[in-house]
Structure 1
Amino acid sequence: MSILVLLVVLAIDVWVYADAKERLRRGNPVAVSLGSFRLETPEAWFLGCLIMWVVFFPLYLTATGRNPFAHSRG
């Protein structure tokens, strides 16, 4: 079971990298500043998600406007 979870997380990390790379190619990079720390390259997003998925994946979704945790106010 834990190997399956790791594979799913790794697949999501690869998706984040590919999505961030495509957005950068189109001239719309995903960038977030946390104090003096700045995430803006596909590689930085991939490493962030790889190291601390539970923090960086929701942050990526929020930065791209795909926040599944936000409630719509219809």
Structure 2
Amino acid sequence: MMTGTPGTALAPILVLLVVLALDAWVYSDARKRLRRGDPVSVSVGSVRVETPEAWFLGCLILWVVFFPLYLVASGRNPFAHGSR
């Protein structure tokens, strides 16, 4: 007999799929910008994140930090006042 509401077991899988899709978008967007000569880069102390691979790995490992950081660094800051 199953307990809990239907779909409860699917929630973590759906969240994971959304996060992976956003990671893939970050990689794709960072590659396009690098090819145009406008790489997205951030420096924190001696650590520099600027390659599409570094952004992807950062988002994959610590999404809650790197995804918003990518949005801000790429000029897609949804947290800024006056943004669309």
Q: Give me the TM-score of the superposition, normalised by structure 2.
A: 0.84
Number of paired residues? 73
Larger radius of gyration: 2
Higher RCO (CA < 8 A, seq sep 6+): 1
Matched, 1:54 2:64: yes
TM-score by length of 1: 0.95
* In structure 2, distance between residues paired with 1:70 and 1:51: 25
CA distance in 1, matches of 2:40, 2:52: 8
Q: Could you list the runs of 5+ residues in structure 2 that have no partner in the other structure?
A: 1-10
- Which among 52, 63, 66 is matched to residue 73 of structure 2? 63
Structure 1, unaligned runs of 5 or more: none
Quote the RMSD (CA, aligned, Å): 1.1
Q: Percent identity?
A: 77
Give deviations 1:9-66, integer Å, cap 9, x for gaps. 0000000000000000010001100000000100000000000000000000000111
Judging by fraction of residues, say which structure has more helix. Answer: 1
Q: 1:45 is matched with which residue: 51, 55, 64?
A: 55
Distance in 2, matches of 1:53 and 1:69, equals: 17
